Amino acid sequence: MQTIGSYSLFAMSLASALLVSCSGPVTRKVEGHTFKVPDANNVKDSDRPFFLPSPSGSDGFSFTLNPQAALPDRILIHVASKKEVCRRAEGTQADVNSGLCSSKPFLWRDARFAKTGDAVFWQYRLSGGEISGATVVVRCTQSSSAVRKGLCASVLPYHDLALTVHMTDNRVEHLAALYDEAVTHLRTWER
């Protein structure tokens, strides 16, 4: 009995592994770029989180950096046209206007961040100078009392694309490494 059960378990495991490995990359296009995103990293349009815009041909796509992680710990990256993001933000008080869409270089990588706000809504601004007018690099919110870590997002430039890094507050100090990992994936996947 145990031998048959072991073979059944092995056969089921093998079948699962083959199904996962047989699913190929998904083609994603944005702003003239074509990416072959591995199925494990791809976020299907039907599975998009509620806080992302509804999918359309020009809205880009999303992927996870760490698909093997538990859902609350996954790092979600949204890739969009920088031109479209800036067009939608034009004339508003959106954070991207002082960073991503500014005519000045957005020098966030080696900068120190200053945390401002309250226990429900807070942001990380470029420190130095007057904090009230400093560029917001990361915006966070407390999602519920059950979640101790805030949910955060940062919109950063990558050539003619905008990368929105969705992470928990405890990952903000690793933003540069997360960005670099996302860029490495995109370079590998681009065709």
Each residue's pLDDT tens digit, 53-83 = 555 555 799 999 999 999 888 999 999 999 9
Position 181 in a domain: yes
Instruction: State the average pLDDT over residues 35-43.
Output: 96
Domain of residue 150, residue span:
24-189
Is the pLDDT at 5 greater than 60? The verdict is no
Position 41 in a domain: yes
Angstrom distances, CA of residue 108 to CA of 51, 69, 98, 114, 136: 24, 27, 12, 12, 10
Position 8 in a domain: no
Position 13 in a domain: no
Position 170 in a domain: yes
Give the three-state DSSP class for 46: helix
Position 84 in a domain: yes
**What is the H or E stretch that residue 26 is in?**
strand 26-30
Per the structure, how many domains does the chain have?
1
Give the three-state DSSP class for 11: helix
pLDDT in tens, 102-146: 988 889 998 999 999 999 999 999 987 555 567 999 999 997 755
Position 43 in a domain: yes
